Structure 1
Amino acid sequence: MVDNAVRRSRQAVEKESLERFIGDNTDAYFRKTKRIVENFGDKHVTYAIFMRRPVLFCPRLMLEWLDEVANARGVKFDIELCYAEGDWVGAGEPLLYISGSFRHLVDLETLYLQRLGAACVAAYNAYFMCCDLPRTSFLAMDARHCAGTEMAELMAYAASVGSRVARRDKGAIGFIGNATDATAHFFDNEAGLGTMPHALIGYAGSTLRAAEMFVESFPNLPVTVLVDYYGREITDALQVCERFPELATAGQISVRMDTHGGRFVEGLDPAESYAVIERHVPEAIRQYRSEAELKHMVGTGVSAAAIHHMRDCLDGAGFPKVKIVASSGFSPEKCKVMASIRAPIDVVGTGSFLPERWAETYATADVIAYDGRPSVKVGREFLLRKS
Structure 2
Amino acid sequence: MNIKPLDKLKDIASYKHIDGRLFSATHEEILEGWTTDIYFLKTRDVLRSAGLLDTQVVAEVFTRQPGIFAGSEEVLNLFRKLPDPPQIESLAEGESFEAKEVLMRFTGSYESFGLYETVLLGMLASSTGWATAARECVLAAEGRSVLCFGARHVHPAIAPVMERAAKIAGCSAMSCILAAKLCGEEPKGTVPHAAILMVGDTVKLAKLYDAQVPAEEARIVLVDTFRDEAEETMRVAEALGDRLSGIRLDTPGERGGVTPDLVREIRWRLDLAGFPKVQIIATGGLTPERIKLMNEAGADVYGVGSYITGGARRDMTMDLKMVDGKPLAKRGRLPGIIPNPKLKRVL
- TM-score of the superposition, structure 2-length normalised? 0.83
Q: Could you give the per-residue CA deviations for residues 286-312 of structure 1, whole angstroms, max 9, x where no partner exists? A: xxxxxxxxxxxxxx2111111101111
Q: Could you give the per-residue CA deviations for residues 344-369 of structure 1, whole angstroms, max 9, x where no partner exists? A: 111111124425364x4221112222
Structure 1 counterpart of 2:50 = 40
Alpha-carbon offset, residue 103 of structure 1: 2.1
Structure 2 counterpart of 1:254 = 246
Structure 2 counterpart of 1:365 = 318
- Select which of 296, 300, 311 maps to 1:346: 300
- Select which of 189, 193, 198 maps to 1:194: 189
Q: Hey, what's the Cα distance between the residues in 1 that align with 2:154 and 2:27?
A: 23
Matches within 5 A, 1:6-155: 11=1, 13-15=2-4, 20-21=29-30, 22-41=32-51, 42=53, 43-70=55-82, 74-81=83-90, 83-149=91-157, 151-155=158-162
Change (3 A) 1:355 1:192: closer
Structure 2 counterpart of 1:236 = 232
Q: Could you give the per-residue CA deviations for residues 203-232 of structure 1, whole angstroms, max 9, x where no partner exists? A: 111111211221121151321111111242
How large is the Cα RMSD of the aligned pairs?
2.4
Matches within 5 A, 1:328-347: 328-339=284-295, 342-347=296-301
Q: Hey, what's the Cα distance between the residues in 1 that align with 2:224 and 2:71?
A: 39
- Select which of 258, 278, 282 maps to 1:326: 282
Q: Hey, what's the Cα distance between the residues in 1 that align with 2:247 and 2:33?
A: 49
Alpha-carbon offset, residue 122 of structure 1: 2.4
Q: Are the counterparts in 1 of residues 150 and 306 from structure 2 also a CA contact under 8 Å?
A: yes
Q: Could you give the per-residue CA deviations for residues 25-70 of structure 1, whole angstroms, max 9, x where no partner exists? A: 1111111112222322221222110111101222433332333343
Other structure's SS at 1:124 match: helix
Other structure's SS at 2:297 match: coil
| Amino acid in the other structure paired with 1:207 | T
Other structure's SS at 1:369 match: strand
Matches within 5 A, 1:169-208: 175-184=171-180, 189=185, 191-208=186-203
Matches within 5 A, 1:211-290: 211-220=206-215, 221-247=217-243, 252-263=244-255
Q: Hey, what's the Cα distance between the residues in 2 that align with 1:84 and 1:148?
A: 26
Change (3 A) 1:186 1:89: farther
Unmatched runs of 5 consecutive residues or more in structure 2: 6-25, 341-347
Q: Are the counterparts in 2 of residues 45 and 372 from structure 1 also a CA contact under 8 Å?
A: yes
Report how many aligned residue pairs link the two structures: 316
Other structure's SS at 1:29 match: helix
Change (3 A) 1:66 1:100: farther
| Amino acid in the other structure paired with 1:213 | L
Q: Hey, what's the Cα distance between the residues in 1 that align with 2:28 and 2:145?
A: 42
Alpha-carbon offset, residue 154 of structure 1: 2.6
Deviates more, 1:89-98 or 1:216-225: 216-225
Change (3 A) 1:243 1:20: closer
Structure 2 counterpart of 1:307 = 263
Other structure's SS at 2:115 match: coil
- TM-score of the superposition, structure 1-length normalised? 0.75
Change (3 A) 1:325 1:203: same
Change (3 A) 1:187 1:18: closer
| Amino acid in the other structure paired with 2:37 | D
| Amino acid in the other structure paired with 2:61 | I
Q: Are the counterparts in 2 of residues 302 and 326 from structure 1 also a CA contact under 8 Å?
A: yes
Change (3 A) 1:104 1:110: same
Identity %: 30
Q: Could you give the per-residue CA deviations for residues 141-189 of structure 1, whole angstroms, max 9, x where no partner exists? A: 111112233x3233222222221xxxxxxxxxxx321112322257652
| Amino acid in the other structure paired with 1:24 | W
Other structure's SS at 1:225 match: strand
Other structure's SS at 1:25 match: coil
Name which structure has the greater RCO, CA cutoff 8 Å, separation 6+: 2
Q: Hey, what's the Cα distance between the residues in 1 that align with 2:242 and 2:113?
A: 61
| Amino acid in the other structure paired with 2:276 | P
Alpha-carbon offset, residue 98 of structure 1: 0.8
| Amino acid in the other structure paired with 2:78 | L
Alpha-carbon offset, residue 324 of structure 1: 0.6
Q: Are the counterparts in 2 of residues 65 and 112 from structure 1 also a CA contact under 8 Å?
A: no
Q: Hey, what's the Cα distance between the residues in 2 that align with 1:378 and 1:179?
A: 46
| Amino acid in the other structure paired with 1:158 | A
Q: Are the counterparts in 2 of residues 93 and 383 from structure 1 also a CA contact under 8 Å?
A: no
Other structure's SS at 1:336 match: helix
Q: Are the counterparts in 1 of residues 69 and 96 from structure 2 also a CA contact under 8 Å?
A: yes
Q: Hey, what's the Cα distance between the residues in 2 that align with 1:382 and 1:141?
A: 43
Change (3 A) 1:35 1:217: same
Q: Hey, what's the Cα distance between the residues in 1 that align with 2:282 and 2:252?
A: 12
